[in-house]
């Protein structure tokens, strides 16, 4: 048989009908789930479907391959077919819009916790939206989260996770995968189910608390898993400015608070963060 990019036996396809049976129905947050073989970007496609009435709240779109995957700051996200989990969710949040900034942080808490439990790997979160494995070979980025507004009352929340990428398939040296972190297994079906159930759980808590990050425990959970806190970091700010200091907290608006050498605390709402030194005691 001729080998081609879809014939890797170590990377079986996702089972759409089994996923639908496991995740849809009853009082589930998820109302529809589709697995596409190849798509440009699940976020872009789901945003388009939402705007034209072809997708409703609770829709989940999963791609076996993304040919134009998107990350933060207009970066691309590439991975071989069936090597990861690339999916987007359409949500219509009830809490006030000023609290919607917590959605990607909430998704990070959900994803990191689900992967730790299901794959048996140590995970962490790099502010604002990177999912890391934190093993013997240091911290490696295995995932990212991107939230995009659809209109005044809806958001598409996208998650990309590297599952079975081998060393020679990594896009950059600082990237990683569950396989390289020594995961107990790389079957994507249970991993996707676990992440979507965790997102549903945290989203439910956040909604019940009207988006209050403290009352919903999202703030404490994020701070507990955030490996950026306690580190000396460099923040490249929108517009090109730069700030160096210690990341001391995540505030109630989800901003990273950086203390300068002069002791002045600067809340950063958006920026590219580089970890310069480990936290004290590491």
- For 50-66, what is each residue's pLDDT tens digit? 999 999 999 999 999 99
Ordered structural domains, the chain, with CATH: 16-224 (3.30.930.10), 229-277 (2.30.30.100)
Distance between CA atoms of residues 135 and 256, nearest Å: 24
Average pLDDT over residues 18-47: 97
Distance between CA atoms of residues 252 and 266, nearest Å: 14
Phi/psi at 196 (5° precision): -65, -35
| Mean of the per-residue pLDDT values of the chain | 93
Could you tell me the pLDDT band of residue 68, with boundaries at 50, 70 and 90? confident
∠ Cα 34 37 41 (to 5°): 80
Q: What crossing angle do the helices spanning 188-208 and 102-119 adopt, rounded to 10°?
A: 140
Total-model pTM: 0.93
Q: Is the pLDDT of residue 72 over 70?
A: no
Distance between CA atoms of residues 91 and 156, nearest Å: 6
Instruction: Determine how many CB atoms are found less than 10 A away from the CB of residue 211.
Output: 22
Q: Is the pLDDT of residue 170 over 70?
A: yes
């Amino acid at each position: 048989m001729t080998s081609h990019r879809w014939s890797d036996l170590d990377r079986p396809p996702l089972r759409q009908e089994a996923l639908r049976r496991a995740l849809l129905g009853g009082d589930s947050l998820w109302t529809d789930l589709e697995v596409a073989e190849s798509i440009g970007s699940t976020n872009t496609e789901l945003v388009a479907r939402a705007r034209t009435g072809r997708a409703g709240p609770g829709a989940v779109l999963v791609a076996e391959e993304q040919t134009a995957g998107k990350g933060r700051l207009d970066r691309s996200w590439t991975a071989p077919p069936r090597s990861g989990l690339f999916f987007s969710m359409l949500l219509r949040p009830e809490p006030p819009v000023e609290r919607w900034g917590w959605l990607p942080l909430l998704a990070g808490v959900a994803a990191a916790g689900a992967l730790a439990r299901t794959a048996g790997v140590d995970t962490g979160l790099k502010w604002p939206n990177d999912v890391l494995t934190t093993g013997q070979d240091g911290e490696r980025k295995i995932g990212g989260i991107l939230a995009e507004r659809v209109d005044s009352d809806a958001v598409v929340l996208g998650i990309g996770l590297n599952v079975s990428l081998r060393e020679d398939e990594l896009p950059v040296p600082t990237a990683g995968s569950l396989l390289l972190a020594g995961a107990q297994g790389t079957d994507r079906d249970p991993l996707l189910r676990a992440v979507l159930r965790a997102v549903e759980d945290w989203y439910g808590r956040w909604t019940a608390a009207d988006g209050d990050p403290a009352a919903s425990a999202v703030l404490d959970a994020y701070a507990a898993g955030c490996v950026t806190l306690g580190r000396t970091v460099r923040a490249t700010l929108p517009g090109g400015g730069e700030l160096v200091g210690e990341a001391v907290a995540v505030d109630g608006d989800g901003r990273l608070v950086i203390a300068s050498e002069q002791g002045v605390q600067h809340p950063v709402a958006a920026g590219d963060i580089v970890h310069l030194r480990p936290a004290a005691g590491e």
